Structure 1
Amino acid sequence: SMAKQNVTLGRFHLEGIPAAPRGIPQIEVTFDIDVNGIVNVSAKDLATNKEQKITITSSSGLSSEDIDNMVRDAEKFADEDRMAKETAEARNEGDSMVYQAEKAIKDFEEKIDADLIDKLRDAKEELANALAGEDTELIKSKTEAATAALYEVTAKAYEQNPPGDDSGEASADGVYDADFDVADEGEK
């Protein structure tokens, strides 16, 4: 909804980005405006280095009076725009947390205490309900609660099965896993 007052100056598509889980792709977008009012826009997928560019000249159909009016409107509505941005960011964080919570429930449901999973499930549902409304502060607080519940679940999962739990004991085939340091010949 923040883009509704924008004027389309040009379009391009960034194609060939491989499918990835939500939140993983990283797209770098650059806007350069030169002294003649020419806008160069580029978008680059950081994983594949695929890039698209577009150059927009001043023939956008806007008069200098139109541009001046738009600048005044932008200054006039800066607070509303800031609040809209804050709401959009809170919603994005909330949506991301719902996704992460669903994934954690699926991954750990059979592995850790049902009470912790239920707590995370409840926090996720409360967050989803908050996201259905318009209260930004409620979305933020429910996101924080879901984040805390998610941390509890993941901490318990790692506590029960710590990464790199190699104690140096022999496996069934008599092979030992151990940590060691290589010393220089002069240190022997």
Structure 2
Amino acid sequence: MNELLAVFIFFFAVIDPIGTVPVFIAVTRGHDEKFKRKVILKAVAVSVLVLLFFVVAGELLLNAINIPLSAFQIAGGIVLLLFALSMIFGESKPESEIKSLPNSTETAIFPLAIPSIASPGAMLGAVLMTRNTEYSWVEQLITSSMMIAVLGVVLVLLLLAAQVHKLIGDSGASIISRIMGLILSSVAVTNILNGIAHYFGLQVFT
């Protein structure tokens, strides 16, 4: 049970559902409810497909180009750490992604699905949390289920975006995003240490 909770919290941190709410409000401002609902469903569906692709094919791609998983784990941990630090010390997720709004109707894809929901950190996390050398297919299925559960939270929060934003405001979303960054930085350091341990055949950190 604790492991399931840990996986859920990990994906909650890298996907950051609450931080997506201000981004969604910004990209759909001025549109009717039918349009907003269409954007939500499309964005979440695309995010599910993208992240499941990395669960299924991420490690296969690494093996195809002869990159050791331990090396990817270290590199992925470093990238996750930088991503987390940017959440803590830089602009928060809502602030940075609202600035990148395109003049396009494809807002469901960019910036909402990618990089707001299926962020680079989430893509890396999907690979790192479903390594074939460490996890059975049952464990990978459970991990994928937790990831999809977080995306379900994203779906619910976006459908209730107006109420959520009214409750927490931009400042609240920024604070929560930074807290998620702190949690994510701890996970990233653990991944780096485990990658080093795997490479040198040392004890794995848990």
* TM norm structure 1: 0.30
Q: Whose strand fraction is larger, Structure 1's or Structure 2's?
A: 1
Q: Which has the higher contact order (CA 8 A, sep 6+)?
A: 2
The structure with the larger Rg is 1
* TM norm structure 2: 0.28
